[in-house]
């Protein structure tokens, strides 16, 4: 239990790299693993870590996300003293509170944070697949008497070029920050997870927006400024499974990894459950002609065809003679008869007509958008 730390999930990004899939919805609301949405992992981590008050900052296409989160009851976050608040831009006498970058998003919601009056502010992104105990990270933050603690994960030299890299001394104090370095000096990549002492961060933000308005982004602006002012900034090394699912390729890859019974994420671990908005749906129905191997299927699916190494989300139907291979199908998609789906991500409520072929490769995943209709002749 932790009443001192307020969680803020940044869920406002557009997720342009997910292409069609985020045309009408925010990235954190994108379905994952058959019965989850990406943000479920972060929300469940909060609930499991005893972070009972959470603000979710939304901006881009928030409707589906808002409906999903509701009052937070699905995660046990409908707490009497706390709970989930969806924070959307609003207008005030100072103008409209839309935001440009991660730190600006916090600044625009300063009134909400002040209302909660936390000692520590936990800043999270809503688009990562992982299980992490934020309470352990807070213990570390306190033990180090840090002003800011940054969650880091070891990456290879090749991967380091895509991340903000933290260079530390032997006590894990961060001495240098490099954004997407060509020649990385360490293997510690920022996970976009921060614990701040709120009063300090608040001072930095307020001062900046009263003057040069430079504090737009945590990575680009806030961390360098903290380092320049000799604040005590520490790296907290996370060693578990962690995936950024910001691209079509990485989203597909993480889904395929999720399928493996040996996945390090260990989704079946009852001590650290991942919760999602529960829906009451009938059980799955597999007909006499179905053939399912190496696959995950959930409630209200109907399978008369073949499913191999794939994930079917709620209410998906696969017609007779169809074959779904190495793919992830999102909720409500209808796959007709004699269809081939291979190396693909199929969007919610998509309709794939009889005899259609949707075929990608391991390096070029085919994508069908939400509500998209493929291979059905217009009447």
Partner 1 sequence: MKRGSVSAIINLVEPWEALEPLTTARPVGMLPFGGRYRLLDFPLSSAINAGIQNVMVTSPRSGRSVSDHLRSGRDWNLDTIRGGLFMYPYNDLKLVAPEKKATLIHHYYDNSILFLKRSHSEYSVVMSTRNVGNIDLKALLRYHEERDNPVTTVYKSVDPKQLMPQNTILQLTDKGMATAVIPTEKAKLPKTAKKAAKNMDIYLMSTVDLIEILDEANRRGDLISLEELMKQAVIQHNANAFEYTGFQANIHDLASYFAANMSILDEANFRALFYSSRRIYTKVKNEVPTFFAEGSQFRASLCGTGGYIEGQVDHSVIFRNVLINRGSQIKDAVIMQGTRIGAGTRIENVIIDKNVVIGPNLILKGTPTEPLVISKGQHIFRQTEVVTSD
| Count of residues in contact with partner 1, rule CB under 8 A | 35
Compute φ and ψ for 121, nearest 5 degrees.
-115, 120
What gap in Å lies between CA 270 and CA 280, rounded to an integer?
Answer: 21
- Residue 285: count of CB within 10 angstroms of its CB: 12
Q: Which stretch binds partner 1 (CB under 8 A): 55-63, 114-122, 277-285, 358-366?
A: 277-285
Q: Does 34 bind partner 1 (CB under 8 A)?
A: yes
- Kindly state whether residue 268 participates in binding partner 1, applying the rule CB under 8 A: yes
User: Which segments are annotated as binding site for alpha-D-glucose 1-phosphate?
Assistant: 164, 179-180, 190
Residue 112 vs 275, nearer CB to partner 1? 275
For partner 1, the binding residue among 136, 282, 361, 376 (CB under 8 A) is 282
For residues 16 and 291, which CB has a smaller minimum distance to partner 1 in the complex? 291
Helix (H, G, I), strand (E, B) or coil at 132: coil
Phi, psi of 201 (to 5 degrees): -60, -40
When the beta carbons of 8 and 256 are compared against partner 1, the nearer one is: 256
Residues making up the annotated binding site are: 164, 179-180, 190
C-beta closer to partner 1: residue 223 or 351: 351
Q: Does 320 help bind partner 1 (rule: CB under 8 A)?
A: no
β-sheet with 291-293: strand ranges across: 291-293, 306-308, 323-325, 340-342, 357-359
**In angstroms, what is the minimal distance from the CB of 80 to partner 1?**
14
Stretch that binds partner 1, among 31-39, 188-196, 202-210, 323-331 (CB under 8 A): 31-39
DSSP codes of every residue in 176-238: EEEES-SS-S-SEEEEEEEEEEHHHHHHHHHHHHHTT-----IIIIIHHHHHHTT--EEEEE-
Q: Minimum CB separation from partner 1 for residue 287, in Å?
A: 6
**C-alpha gyration radius of the chain:** 22
Closest to partner 1 by CB, 19 vs 282, is: 282
With contact defined as beta carbons under 8 Å apart, do 193 and 124 qualify?
yes
Name the residue nearer to partner 1 (CB basis): 124 or 307.
Answer: 307
Cα 217 to its chain centre, rounded Å, is 18
Our finding on whether 298 is near partner 1 (CB under 8 A) is yes
- Does position 68 interact with partner 1 (CB under 8 A)? The reply is no
Residue with tokens 């589906």: 64
> Residue numbers of the site for partner 1 (CB under 8 A)?
33-35, 73, 259, 261, 267-268, 273-276, 278-280, 282-299, 307, 311
């Amino acid at each position: 239990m932790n009443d001192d730390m307020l969680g803020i999930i940044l869920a406002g990004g557009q997720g342009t790299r997910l292409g069609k899939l985020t045309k009408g919805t925010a990235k954190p609301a994108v379905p994952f693993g058959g019965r989850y949405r990406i943000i479920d992992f972060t929300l469940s981590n909060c609930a499991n870590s005893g972070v009972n008050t959470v603000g979710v900052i939304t901006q881009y296409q928030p409707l589906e996300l808002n409906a999903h989160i509701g009052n937070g009851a699905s995660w046990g976050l409908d707490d009497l003293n706390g709970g989930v608040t969806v924070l959307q831009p609003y207008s005030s006498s100072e103008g409209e509170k839309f935001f440009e970058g991660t730190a600006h998003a916090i600044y625009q919601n300063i009134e909400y944070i002040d209302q909660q009056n936390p000692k520590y502010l936990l800043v999270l992104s809503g688009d990562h697949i992982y299980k992490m105990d934020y309470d352990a990270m807070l213990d570390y933050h306190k033990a180090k008497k840090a002003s800011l603690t940054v969650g880091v994960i070891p990456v290879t030299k090749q991967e380091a070029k895509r991340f903000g890299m933290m260079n530390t001394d032997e006590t894990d104090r961060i001495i240098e920050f490099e954004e997407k370095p060509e020649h990385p000096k360490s293997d510690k990549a920022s996970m976009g997870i921060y614990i701040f002492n709120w009063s300090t961060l608040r001072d930095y933000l307020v001062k900046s927006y009263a003057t040069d308005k430079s504090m737009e982004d945590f990575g680009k602006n806030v961390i360098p400024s903290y380092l320049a002012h000799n604040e005590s900034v520490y790296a907290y090394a996370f060693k578990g499974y962690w995936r950024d699912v910001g691209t079509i390729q990485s989203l597909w890859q993480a889904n395929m990894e999720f399928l493996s019974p040996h996945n390090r994420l260990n989704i079946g671990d009852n001590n650290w459950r991942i919760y999602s908005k529960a829906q009451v749906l009938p059980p799955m129905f597999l007909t006499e002609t179905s053939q399912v191997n190496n696959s995950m299927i959930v409630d209200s699916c109907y399978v008369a065809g073949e499913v191999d190494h794939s994930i079917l989300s709620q209410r998906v139907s696969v017609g007779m003679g169809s074959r779904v291979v190495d793919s992830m199908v999102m909720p409500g998609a209808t796959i007709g008869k004699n269809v081939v789906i291979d190396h693909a991500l199929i969007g919610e409520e998509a309709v794939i007509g009889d005899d259609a072929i949707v075929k990608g490769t391991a390096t070029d995943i085919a994508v069908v958008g939400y509500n998209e209709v493929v291979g059905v002749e217009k009447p």
